[in-house]
A and B are shown apart, each in its own frame.
Chain A
Amino acid sequence: MTTTVDRSASSLGGKYLTFYLAGEEYGVEILRVQEIISMMPITRVPRTPKYIRGVINLRGKVIPIMDLREKFGMPPATEPEQVMIVVQVGGVQIGVVADKVSEVASIAAADIDPTPDFGAEIHTEFLLGLGKSNGRLRLLLDIERVLSTDEVTAIASLPGVAQGD
């Protein structure tokens, strides 16, 4: 369902939207980002995994919101989060909660290092690599994998999943 993207290091360079989450700065490919919206009330959906925070009304469309802290096994936020970043992967729209948006950064391929292997304890499969710019280190998210490893693929295989509204 997802388009195969060339993941060789040379193709990783480009523009990234960066945001803060639990004190770290993360980046997501700008082409995946549809819009950034400020936090609004989220309707909890029962019987979903904890990292699905719920659903919101995005101008008449119902879209799910994902909590990356839960997904990555981090402790809950102490300060209220400020924004949701709406990304589009394989035709699926989903919002991702972030503490704060930082900037749009151009990161050259040469400045992207592969993620070091920390062993099985730490989830690095969600990362494309580590981007260096302006002396800061950003964790570049493989957003497609973040969304698709579990629930998106699991859901696409269900028969008769809602065909629009």
Chain B
Amino acid sequence: MIPAELNDAAFIVVQLEPAEHEDIKALRDTLRQFAVFDATATTQVRAHAQQAATFLNLILLAAPGDPAVLLTQASDAIDSAIKACEAASMHEPRITQTGLIAIAHDPGDADALSADMATPVPAETAGTTPKRTPTITAPTAAQFAEAVPAAAAPAAVVVHPTAIDGGMVPDDADLSLLGDFIAESRDSMAGAEAALLQLEANPEDIEAINTVFRAFHTVKGTAAFMGLDKLAEFAHHAESLLSRVRDRELPYTQAVANLSLRSNDVLGEFLEAVEKSVQMSEPIALPSDYAHLMHDLLNVDAVLAGIETRVAAVVAAPGAAPIAVASPAADAAPVMSSRAPDDVAAPRAQAARAVVKNESDLSVRVRTDRLDRLIDMVGELVIAQSMIAADPAVTAVGQHDLVKKVSQAGKIMRELQDLSMSMRMVPMKSTFQKLTRLVRDVALKAGKIVELVTDGEDTELDRNMVDAIADPLVHMVRNAVDHGVEGPEDRERAGKPRAGRVKLAAFQQGGSVIVELRDDGRGLNRDRILAKALEKGLVSANHSLTESEINALIFAPGFSTAETITDISGRGVGMDVVRRNIESIRGRIDIQSVLGQGTVFQIRLPLTLAVTDGMLVRVGDERYVVPLTSISLSFRPEPDMLTTIPPNGEVVMLRGEVLPVVRLHQMFNIPNAVTNPSDAILMIVGDGEQRVALLVDKLLGQQQVVAKALGDGVGEIPGISGGAILSDGRVGLIIDISRMTSLARIGDVRPRALSFAA
């Protein structure tokens, strides 16, 4: 998917004339903001955007060279960014460092050099000498630095010729102390971000200001102690800004909020850079926004005064996001930066949330791979124990004492297993916090007023799953704010409050965790979705679909194309990827939507990926595990319940319902299986139209199993979701019911084609 900013920028840049300085400036700022803030874009995309901003900046600085050529170069850079986006969405996002080097070595490009110094460079170019390109940098950079009157042009980047890197981590630094420092500072940064966002809702919250102040102050103190002077200096300036707010010298305006949030980001990036620097023993790479932000912090007053015009310029840009005109007095969107100070001071009652709690739980940090290994070993221990318990020497008559001891050990081990499993559970809090920030940034950019309400952030989920749903959630929340919620004017016309409301909730329901995203926006337009699907050939015209089936069309691969973004309010963007990600962790996503009233996305996830309740079944000489949640009923059929449909279809009639029979032994080519259904068992599995009757020989009993991947050497087997270690230590295969039933429905009962057999 391509971010809206880039699309807009590509559209605007081709219409620009070299003399339209106001518009160029606006576009430059948008690109810069994108390059710095958009955490979802890859480093390469952001570097291209940054480069485009640089070319625009050169025009503004009246640098030598033809402005028209520079404009073309900017346009090319935006195109590269879009291409990189497309490439990135096809592969896993990853940093392509060669791309960055290519940019950085573009001659005569001051900003690209600043991008260079901000970017970790592979060893062969970086070397270990801290100042590696001063001869190229100094004259060019100085030339542009001169062109910028220090405080008068607050938005211009000042390139410090000496600031190639952040120096080395001092040799005498205690590395374990440094590790602690980074971990602690990260926690402080997270706390500070939450407090900053809270401040935005309630600028009078002195406690929140103090939290941020303390966080910056601690980082500053410790950094100075560790000899990280650049970091300490930066934290000092960020802290100064906050102290002025605390002392009521400055009101906490949007502009201050932006500066503080950016400071927080830069501090976070700085910590990462320090960590990387220690690992690679390279100089510390300065965060990309460092020089720019440092300049802004040093000239706070000028920046705060100047910000109004910059926002106005963005508004004036053709094709830019439809933001209300930003006159200082107007009652523009509350999240806009043009609020008058007294407006800010008025606390917004509905946003008064509880003060950020200080988590003082005692805890120890453990690496996740160690934890996973522990859980594996405990699982092994439980199996080893049950093998002892089943050993003839133990079960022999007269061994009462031994049996008692063994079963006592078994109890302890199962408790140990439960405990080890619970260690992987983490609250959803940090995920939700990141989304709060995202809502704020997206709303600000799209010119919308959006209030995010979260609920149940203490709900716990397996650590791996929290990681796995983070990306889909970012995508969905972005969609909800960007496309689901209408702009303030549209909302007013529709008789809704100007502020849109997005609610993110997590709660437990039975053995599942539900994560719910609810917006009160325009809802899905089913007519248009259907029209689009017909046009794309995803459904045929003579098929009548239910509401939920039409909703589900937005998950169809190929439905999400660029033009549908505007056509159906963009709900199709990459939703197939969202659904795939969620299904890969055995989750399910459902949509409910009422046109004009909003949309609810409900993600249902198992509590943990690790344990599945399964039914162990025997087919021929083999055993399989069927997840208990997908079984609705098992029975031995009477001969008259079965009907054969030529040439080889089979159905069973159960209480008036006709279900296709799927013979597992046929699907999986299992020898020595019971072939007469009347001597075997039929299990009704799957749900909805996917329900089938699965033929197995025998039910062996219910068992909790630990699901494991089959190993990279085997890969994905259609119909098998993984393996489980059974009580005898052997591997049992877990059946993926939904894949299996869909295979059965398309009649694919052949073994996998041996296309790559030698």
Contacts and interface: CB of A to CB of B under 8 A. Distances in A.
A91 B713 CA distance: 10
Interface string B737-758: 0000000000000011010111
A43 B757 contact: no
Contacts of A63: 711, 713
A81 B296 CA distance: 73
Contact of A147 (B379, B713, B716, B733): B713
Contact of B720 (A45, A71, A150): A45
Contacts of A160: 580, 584, 716
Nearest to A71: B758
Given A48-B752, A49-B754, A73-B758, A64 B714 contact: yes
Contact of B710 (A55, A66, A151, A163): A55
Contacts of B711: 55, 61-64, 92-94, 162
Contacts of A147: 713
B758 A123 contact: yes
B710 A155 contact: no
B17 interface: no
B707 interface: yes
A46 B751 contact: yes
B754 A91 contact: no
Contacts of A94: 711, 713
A165 B713 contact: no
Contacts of A152: 712-713
A161 interface: yes
A150 B717 contact: no
Interface stretch (B35-43, B46-54, B508-516, B663-671): B663-671
Given A150-B758, A160-B580, A165-B707, A155 B717 contact: no
A93 B711 CA distance: 7
Interface string A47-68: 1111110111101111110100
A92 B717 contact: no
Given A59-B380, A162-B710, A165-B708, A47 B717 contact: yes
B355 interface: no
B606 interface: no
A46 B667 contact: yes
Given A55-B723, A94-B711, A151 B756 contact: yes
A158 interface: yes
B731 A56 contact: yes
A62 B709 contact: yes
Contacts of B667: 46
Contact of B732 (A43, A93, A149): A43
Contacts of B730: 41, 43, 56-57
Contacts of B756: 49, 150-151, 154
Interface residues of A, number: 45
Contacts, number: 139
- Which residue of B669, B712, B723, B731 has the most chain A CB atoms within 10 A of its CB atom? B712
A45 B717 contact: yes
B714 A60 contact: no
B731 A155 contact: no
B3 interface: no
B377 A60 contact: yes
Contact of B709 (A46, A48, A56, A163): A163
Interface in A125-165: 147, 149-152, 154-156, 158, 160-165
A54 B730 CA distance: 11
Contacts of A41: 730
Contact of B708 (A48, A52, A61): A61
A89 B169 CA distance: 36
Given A55-B723, A57-B731, A155 B709 contact: no
Nearest to A66: B713
Nearest to A43: B731
B598 interface: no
A156 B714 CA distance: 10
B145 interface: no
B328 interface: no
A52 B716 CA distance: 13
Task: Pick the most buried of B669, B730, B732: most chain A CB atoms within 10 A of its CB.
Answer: B730
B719 interface: yes
Interface in B351-405: 372, 376-377, 379-380
Contacts of A92: 711-713
A3 to B, nearest CB: 16
Contacts of A158: 715-716
Nearest to A95: B713
B622 interface: yes
B627 interface: no
B179 interface: no
Contact of B713 (A46, A57, A59, A64): A64
A97 B452 CA distance: 58
Given A45-B733, A57-B730, A161 B712 contact: yes
Contacts of B714: 45, 48, 52, 55, 64, 151, 155
B380 A93 contact: no
Interface string B718-737: 11101101000111110000
A162 B733 contact: no
A96 B535 CA distance: 52
B719 A47 contact: yes
Contact of A44 (B379, B622, B718): B622
Contacts of B669: 46
Contacts of A50: 754, 757
A14 B711 CA distance: 29
A162 B580 CA distance: 13
A35 to B, nearest CB: 15
Contacts of B609: 165
Contacts of A57: 725, 729-731
B737 to A, nearest CB: 15
Contacts of A149: 758
A46 B712 contact: no
A123 B716 CA distance: 27
A155 to B, nearest CB: 3
A154 B717 CA distance: 13
Interface in B648-704: 667-670
Contact of A162 (B377, B716, B718): B716
A140 B758 CA distance: 19
A60 to B, nearest CB: 4
A87 B593 CA distance: 53
A48 B751 CA distance: 8
B92 to A, nearest CB: 9
Given A46-B670, A52-B714, A164-B709, 20 more contacts: A43-B723, A43-B730, A43-B732, A45-B710, A45-B733, A49-B754, A50-B757, A51-B757, A57-B729, A57-B730, A62-B710, A62-B731, A72-B758, A92-B711, A92-B713, A93-B713, A94-B711, A155-B715, A158-B715, A165-B610
Give the 8 A-B CB pairs with smallest separation, nearest first.
A162-B709, A155-B715, A46-B668, A47-B752, A60-B376, A64-B713, A150-B756, A165-B708
29 contacts: A41-B730, A45-B714, A46-B670, A46-B720, A48-B714, A48-B752, A49-B757, A51-B757, A55-B714, A55-B731, A56-B731, A57-B725, A59-B380, A60-B380, A60-B725, A61-B711, A62-B725, A94-B711, A147-B713, A151-B714, A155-B716, A156-B712, A162-B709, A162-B712, A162-B715, A162-B722, A165-B372, A165-B376, A165-B709
